[in-house]
């Protein structure tokens, strides 16, 4: 596991931009953290670094927002409201995973459907800022 301190929103956006550069089609990113920890801000940094200053809403109510990035399609998923892991099939998420980059908030809602090789990101409160902890990113130059 590798940790990176993030002092503020700008640092979180910049770190998201770094992550976007090393993602590849077929990656599944399991994004964990408490409410308000900065998960959506991190994803906004990924997307805006590649697509410019576009609106990146939280997919809390839509469950999935898709973005056509330059080298892959990114699905930003918030599965907090998913009632059963099997409901992810209805979203098309499970069938699409090999052809997209999926960034999944509340990944535990997938249960056994979460890929074993998912890249883990944990955003945690630390003092006045945040710390991001990465697991499974060993072969990536973040």
Extract the runs of DSSP E, i.e. beta strands, from the chain.
Answer: 2-6, 28-32, 64-68, 73-78, 101-105, 119-126, 129-135
- pLDDT means per 10 residues, the chain with 142 residues, are 94 96 96 93 97 93 95 96 95 96 97 96 93 90 86
How far CA 95 is from CA of 26, 56, 82, 91, 99, in Å, comes to: 11, 24, 17, 9, 9
Q: In this predicted structure, what is the pLDDT of residue 138? A: 83
Q: In this predicted structure, what is the pLDDT of residue 8? A: 94
């Amino acid at each position: 596991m590798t940790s990176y301190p993030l002092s503020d929103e700008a640092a979180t956006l910049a770190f998201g931009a770094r992550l976007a550069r090393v993602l590849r089609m077929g990656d599944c990113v399991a994004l964990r953290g408490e409410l308000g920890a900065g998960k959506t801000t991190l994803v906004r940094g990924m997307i805006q670094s590649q697509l410019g200053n576009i609106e990146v809403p939280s997919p809390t109510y839509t469950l999935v927002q898709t973005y056509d990035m330059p080298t892959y399609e990114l699905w930003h998923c918030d599965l907090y409201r998913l009632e059963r892991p099997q409901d992810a099939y209805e979203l098309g998420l499970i069938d699409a995973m090999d052809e997209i980059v999926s960034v999944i908030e509340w990944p535990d809602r997938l249960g056994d459907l979460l890929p074993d090789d998912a890249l883990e990101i944990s955003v945690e409160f630390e003092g006045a800022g945040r710390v991001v902890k990465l697991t499974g990113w060993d072969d990536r130059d973040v």
